Structure 1
Amino acid sequence: MIGNKIRELREENNILLRQLAAQLDMDTAMLSKMERGERFFKKEDIVTLSEIFNQNSKDLLVLWLADKIVKTINTEDYPKEALQMALKSLESNKE
């Protein structure tokens, strides 16, 4: 999810992978893996990317976190049930 969005933003802005990697102070191969969803972006990278692409940081951070959650639970048994329980816990902690 987040990798596809970053690639989309990069291409829309005509920025080469190596150029963006340099702005993030990371290896081009690593950024390529992140765009393909093979590696996780760090939270700090997402904040920097929101500045580079002039995007709302909240929108990109929500997408980043959702991607992390899905990749963490989707190979486990009962991911939907676990997510529903986690949501209930978050809602009860608000009160």
Structure 2
Amino acid sequence: MTLGQKIKELRESNGMFQRQLASILEIGDGFLSKVESDQKPLKREHLKTISETFNCSFSELEALWIGSKVYDIVKDEKEGLNALKVAEKQMKYEKK
């Protein structure tokens, strides 16, 4: 699941229109539409507002946000998947 998909799911399951959430986030509803379809990135500071609005995990939203950023970096790279594996090993090594 992408961040955009998660935001759309949260919004719809709470019976909220895009224009309502866009107003809460102080962004345009057209921009929110693009966020939900993963065409535009959302600012990190919006995650807290979304978490509070829908009473959901900030950590989950942040992980999806970071994942989107990482994906944007490696998606067109021939060795993108291998680079992710290397990064995962480095993360595990750093946590020891």
* Aligned position for 2:11: 10
* Seq. identity, %: 36
Work out the CA distance in 2 between the residues paired with 1:26 and 1:4.
18
Q: State the SS of the aligned residue for 2:66.
A: helix
Pairs aligned (count)? 95
Structure 1 consecutive aligned stretches of length 4 or more whose deviation exceeds 6 Å = none
For structure 1, the 5+ residue unaligned runs are none
Q: Distance in 2 between matches of 1:28 and 1:58?
A: 25
Q: Deviations over 1:60-95 (max 9, x none)?
A: 111221122123211111111101111122222223
Task: Tell me the C-alpha RMSD between the 2 structures.
Answer: 1.2
Give the structure-2-normalised TM-score: 0.90
Aligned residue runs from structure 1 range 1-95, under 5 A: 1-95=2-96
Letter of the 1:31 partner, please give it.
Answer: L
Could you tell me which runs of 5 or more consecutive residues in structure 2 were left unpaired when the two chains were aligned: none
